[in-house]
Each structure stands twice: as C-alpha cells, then as structure tokens.
Amino acid sequence: MAYDEELAHRIRGVLSDERGLTERVMFGGLGFMLDGHMAVAAGSRGSLMVRVDPDGAEALVDGESVDHMEMGGRSLRGWLLVESPATVDDDALAQWVGRGVAFVRALPPKE
C-alpha cells in the first residue's frame, strides 16, 4: 500500500523551513531526510514513522497510538510508529515531526 499523500503534504508544511530537506520513497512510505538522515516518514493510512533518541523512546510509547516500529518481525530501535489518531491535529503532528528533526539535527551530516 502506498503512503498517505495528505499526511505527506502536511509533513512538508511542517518541514518547509528546514535546510537540507530531501524526500525518498522507500518501503512503501515517503521518507523525509535532513542532511541525509531520515527524521520522519509518511506511511499508509495516516501512520507516521518518527526517529527518536533510542534511550527516550520507551517514555513516548502509549500502547495505543504510539508504539515501537517493527519491520520484518523485529523492533527498530529509535523508531516509533505513530498512528493517525495521534497526528490528526496539526499541532500534534508538528510536535511529532519536531521530535524527529531534533534527533537527526544532533547527528553529524552524512557525506
């Protein structure tokens, strides 16, 4: 299934002022990269993948709308899957995207 184009448009709005922004279609989603690091991705049915500090990820999991990201049967450390109920509001989406931005901005740029 393809990524949610409405969500991708909303993410673009949040990231419009970020330097080093690129987009890449991967794994059926649309990844938003900052200086080569993926910060967030639009998935299908409004789901958002967010890259966060692995040491703080557990505190953000609520077991309902936010859980650890899994791919191929294994949990991806430092990635959360945020379901659409947690991003319906534009401020909430901006907060989640901001978490991804903050984490990747702390990383050295990829060459």
Whether the full predicted model's pTM is greater than 0.85, yes or no, is yes
Assigned domain for 98 exists: yes
Q: Please report, for the domain that includes residue 65, its CATH number.
A: 3.90.1150.30
- Total domains present in the chain: 1
Query: What is the sign of the dihedral through the CA atoms of 16, 27, 103 and 85?
Result: positive
Using pLDDT thresholds of 50, 70 and 90, give the confidence band for residue 58: very high
Q: Is the pLDDT of residue 111 over 90?
A: no
Give domain status of residue 111, yes or no: no
Q: What is residue 1's predicted lDDT score, i.e. its pLDDT?
A: 58
Q: Phi first, then psi: what are they for 46, rounded to 5°?
A: 85, 5
Cα 30 from Cα 36, distance rounded (Å): 14
Q: Is residue 35 part of a domain?
A: yes
Q: For residues 39 and 36, what is the distance between their CA atoms, to the nearest angstrom?
A: 9
Residues spanned by the domain of 52:
5-105
Is residue 80 domain-resident?
A: yes
Model pLDDT for residues 59-90, shown as the tens digit of each residue: 999 989 999 998 889 989 999 999 999 999 99
- Closest by CA position to 41, among listed 72, 17, 76, 73: 76
- Does residue 67 sit within a domain? yes
